[in-house]
Structure 1
Amino acid sequence: MKRQNGFTLIELVVVIVILGILAVTAAPKFLNLQDDARASSLQGLKGAIDGAAGITYGKAAIQGKEASENAEVDGIDVVYGYPAATSAALNAAVTGLEQDWKVAPSVTGADDKQSIAYTYKANAAGATTCVVTYTQAQSVSQAATTVVVPGTGCNPSSSN
């Protein structure tokens, strides 16, 4: 009689099923890709706003309106050549902004007319995390506008 070496097919299938169950339940706890994706989308919005502000400033400079406190360039309200901190000005400057993002209360305060914050459309009303804040130019000597992305780890379904 021959001695059996190795595992039977049933034993191998059972081990594979157990490993599959462990992978499905344990992997998401170790790999939280949603936070990274949210942080990346915020960085993408920051880049889009920065790029649109730079292009708008270039157009304003060509038209000689970069030193004007209030002007209009191609249908965009500008302050010192950069887009004003209004949803109308930024929607005109940044393509697709209003389809994917919504205006959120500013991190510096809702009464601040110098800045505007955007968050995910899925965020609860009043959320002040997971936002990109655009601050308009304050003077002619300001080199650029500022876009601030608070820390990562934000959850679009909550309003921490």
Structure 2
Amino acid sequence: MKRQNGFTLIELVVVIVILGILAVTAAPKFMNLQVDARNASLQGLKGAIQGAAGITYGKAAVKGQETGVGAISVAGSTLNLVDGYPKATSAALGLVVNGLNNKEEWKVKTNITNHAENSISYTFANQADTKTNCYVTYNQAKSTAAATVSVTKCE
């Protein structure tokens, strides 16, 4: 009679246990990718706003509008300035940051506690308004400081 070779029950159980341990240790790393992706998108928006504000300041300085309240023409529209930087309004930032007026991607966040005066915040268009984090804030320039952009990370 010919002897059949195969795996014993103990060998199969050991392999299943090892695969289970690997799955338990690897799963949390992959399940947190959405939060990481959202935080990366917010960092990208922050960079876009900072870059646009810097370019706007350069244009304003060339035209002698780097102090006080002023306006320059951008793409055939009037861009309102404060100390050479875009004013903290959705209209002004929408002129200088491509894609910021896309209602399917970004929206203005309105329910922020301790929101600084002369600032505007953006969050994801599909995010609930009750969420207290996950947004980018643009703080308008002051006579003593340039415009700043900050990120409140998603959790």
Shared fold (TM-score greater than 0.5)?
yes
Q: Structure 1: how far apart are the matches of 2:51 and 2:61?
A: 15
**Match of residue 61 from structure 1:** 61
Give matches, 1:68-147, under 5 Å: 69-74=68-73, 75-99=78-102, 100-105=105-110, 106-109=112-115, 112-139=116-143, 141-142=144-145, 144-147=146-149
Higher strand share: 2
Give the percent of matched residue pairs that are identical in Structure 1 and Structure 2: 55
**Match of residue 50 from structure 2:** 50
SS of 1:123's partner is: coil
**Match of residue 153 from structure 2:** 151
Q: Cα–Cα, structure 1 residues 42 and 107, in superposed 2: closer, same or farther, change >3 Å?
A: farther
Find out whether 1:5 has 2:5 as its counterpart: yes
Alpha-carbon contact 1:77-1:84 (below 8 Å) kept: yes
Worse-superposed segment, 25-34 or 77-86: 25-34
AA matched with 1:90: L
Across the aligned residues of Structure 1 and Structure 2, the Cα RMSD in angstroms comes to 2.8
Normalising by the residue count of structure 1, what TM-score does the alignment of the two structures yield? 0.74
AA matched with 2:96: A
**Cα offset, 1:146, TM superposition:** 1.3
Q: Structure 1: how far apart are the matches of 2:130 and 2:154?
A: 18
Alpha-carbon contact 2:71-2:81 (below 8 Å) kept: yes
- CA shift digits 1:99-135 (9 cap, x unpaired): 12111124533xx441001111112235431110100
Structure 1 residue runs of 4 or more that deviate by more than 4 Å after TM superposition: 25-28
Q: Structure 2: how far apart are the matches of 1:33 and 1:53?
A: 30
**Cα offset, 1:63, TM superposition:** 0.7
Q: How many residues matched? A: 140
SS of 1:46's partner is: helix
Q: Cα–Cα, structure 1 residues 151 and 48, in superposed 2: closer, same or farther, change >3 Å?
A: same
Alpha-carbon contact 2:135-2:153 (below 8 Å) kept: no
Structure 2 unaligned regions, length at least 5? none
Q: Structure 2: how far apart are the matches of 1:127 and 1:71?
A: 35
